[in-house]
């Protein structure tokens, strides 16, 4: 019996895919399937294809990479901020040192990567789940600044 629910399995698989593409070059979906299998995660090419699209991975120099703003710019993407406008539903302060971003299901990691890649002033880092990103900031001024930045891009 599978130890994960369907959504937990998908989240675990997508997290593993992000780790794998960060660790070594993977050029095809078949290579991703094989690498997942070595980690003990079963996946079909169809599910990996869907995961790659949902995670916003791009091909750079023939291998999959996370779509950070820098990577997207290097790959010639027209709009590195697109995930912020299409996947973010809300952004709220959670005290003076944290911003919580609510996203479409499955899009939080992509949004977190984009924010990390942009390296906004005052942002210490991000933690992304399935539909929520926590953004740690270095103080109230940075909190206000990142909220204004996000509010200007949130889909309406």
pLDDT at 156: 55
Instruction: At 3, give phi and psi (nearest 5°).
Output: -80, -10
Same domain, 57 and 94: no
Same domain, 94 and 47: no
Same domain, 49 and 94: no
Question: Domain range holding 134?
Answer: 82-151
CATH number of the domain that residue 107 is part of: 3.30.1360.40
Q: Is the pLDDT at 72 greater than 60, yes or no?
A: no
Name the domain count of the chain.
Answer: 2
Same domain, 46 and 88: no
pLDDT at 3: 53
pLDDT at 127: 95
Q: Which of 111, 72, 66 is nearest to 88 (CA)?
A: 111
The percentage of residues in the chain with a pLDDT greater than 90, rounded to a whole number, is 38
Q: Is the pLDDT at 7 greater than 50, yes or no?
A: yes
pLDDT at 155: 61
Q: Tens of pLDDT along 118-145?
A: 888 899 999 999 899 999 999 999 999 9
Question: Domain for residue 73, yes or no?
Answer: no
Q: Is the pLDDT at 51 greater than 90, yes or no?
A: no
Residue 68: pLDDT band with limits 50, 70, 90:
low
Same domain, 25 and 62: yes
Same domain, 88 and 130: yes
Distance between CA atoms of 73 and 77, rounded to whole angstroms? 6
Question: Domain for residue 141, yes or no?
Answer: yes
Q: Is the pLDDT at 6 greater than 80, yes or no?
A: no
Question: Domain for residue 74, yes or no?
Answer: no
Angle among Cα 93, 96, 97 to the nearest 5 degrees reads 90
Mean pLDDT of the residues in the chain:
83
pLDDT at 80: 64
Question: Domain for residue 95, yes or no?
Answer: yes
Q: What is the mean pLDDT of residues 11-15?
A: 85
Question: Domain for residue 77, yes or no?
Answer: no
Please state, in angstroms and as integers, the Cα–Cα distance from residue 27 to each residue in 11, 33, 35, 51, 56, following that order. 22, 11, 11, 15, 15
pLDDT at 22: 84
Same domain, 87 and 31: no
CATH number of the domain that residue 26 is part of: 1.10.10.10
Same domain, 44 and 101: no
Three-state secondary structure of 59-72: EECCEEECCCHHHH
Q: Is the pLDDT at 4 greater than 60, yes or no?
A: no
Instruction: At 4, give phi and psi (nearest 5°).
Output: -115, 150
């Amino acid at each position: 019996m599978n130890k994960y629910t369907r959504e937990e399995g998908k989240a675990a698989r997508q997290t593993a895919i992000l780790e794998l593409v960060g660790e070594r070059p993977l050029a095809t979906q078949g290579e991703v399937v094989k690498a997942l299998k070595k980690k003990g995660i079963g996946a079909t090419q169809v599910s990996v294809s869907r995961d790659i699209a949902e995670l916003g991975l791009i091909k750079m120099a023939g291998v999959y990479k996370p779509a950070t703003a820098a990577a997207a710019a290097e790959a010639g993407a027209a709009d590195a901020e697109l995930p912020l406008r299409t996947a973010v539903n809300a952004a709220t302060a959670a005290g003076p040192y944290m911003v919580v971003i609510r996203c479409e299901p499955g899009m939080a990691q992509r949004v977190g990567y984009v924010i990390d890649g942009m390296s906004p002033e005052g942002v210490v880092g991000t933690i992304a789940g399935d539909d929520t990103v926590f953004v740690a900031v270095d103080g109230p001024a940075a909190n206000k600044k990142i909220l204004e930045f996000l509010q200007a891009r949130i889909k309406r």
